[in-house]
Amino acid sequence: MCELRAWLAETAAVPLEEMSSFFAKRLGSYETHMSLWHEAYQKFASFLPADCTEILDLGCGTGLELQSVFARFPTAHVTGIDMSAEMLAALSAKYDNKAVHTICGDYFAVPFGAARFDAVISFQSLHHFTPEKKTALFRRIAETLKPNGVFLNCDYFACCDEEETLLFAECARRRAAANIPDAEFVHFDTPLTVAHESALLRKAGFSEVQPLESVNGAVFQRAEKK
């Protein structure tokens, strides 16, 4: 917490960036930056059910997690949603021989369909949003999963209530200082604790929610729909 407080103090005057613009500017260095979680990407598909054929990827970026998905499920159909057109173009070029459909948009607003997917996946994307937005999204994820479907999220979580509270307060302060409306997506980490996120998933209708493993600070969390 001391290091986090020091970092927040050092960056207090750094302006918030709109989400899609933030990632578009960093496309060239994105995969190098994310290589910290190479081991997590390699393990990703091992936590999915054995019979996945239809998969929804939220905040898919350039599709780093799909390498292990297609290695295990080479004929899977993947729908990837991301706000960055530039990253989706990179993903499409990378997997031009696979069944991948990309949607450039806000996954809080894009329709998913009912009982359509065997699995919904996400990697390091959801730690930017409020509990209210997550609760609504988790309900939609539960609705789009087939019976016995799985939501697999690998993300950054707050270590404690203090970290969670501090980051939400700082994000609110920076928004207010720059007159940024709550509806605008900005790149600033506001992770929940594993316990709080698990509670939201259960509230949304998932019957089994469990953290599985942590790799370099990225925690795998799996929620099952019965």
- pLDDT digits 0-9 by tens, 34-65: 999 999 999 999 999 998 999 999 999 999 99
CB 142 within 8 A of CB 205: yes
84 within some domain: yes
| pLDDT reported for residue 201 | 98
104 within some domain: yes
| pLDDT reported for residue 221 | 98
| Structure tokens, 48 | 């999915």
Q: What number of helices (H) and strands (E) belong to the chain? A: 9, 7
173 within some domain: no
CB 24 within 8 A of CB 62: no
| pLDDT reported for residue 135 | 96
118 within some domain: no
147 within some domain: no
Instruction: Report d(CA 74, CA 61) in Å as an integer.
Output: 20
Residue 119 scores a pLDDT above 90: yes
Instruction: Report d(CA 172, CA 100) in Å as an integer.
Output: 37
pTM of the model: 0.96
| pLDDT reported for residue 50 | 94
Number of domains in the chain: 1
- In whole angstroms, what separates CA 183 from the centre of its chain? 18
CB 219 within 8 A of CB 194: yes
99 within some domain: yes
13 within some domain: no
Average pLDDT of every residue of the chain:
96
Res. 226 pLDDT band, cuts 50 70 90? confident
| pLDDT reported for residue 95 | 98
Percent of the chain with pLDDT over 90: 98
181 within some domain: no
Q: Determine the average pLDDT of the residues in 82-106.
A: 97
Q: Determine the average pLDDT of the residues in 8-27.
A: 93
What's the domain range around 87?
Answer: 19-24+78-113
In Å, what is the CA distance from 51 to each residue of 48, 54, 102, 136, 152?
8, 9, 22, 27, 15
Instruction: Report d(CA 44, CA 92) in Å as an integer.
Output: 20
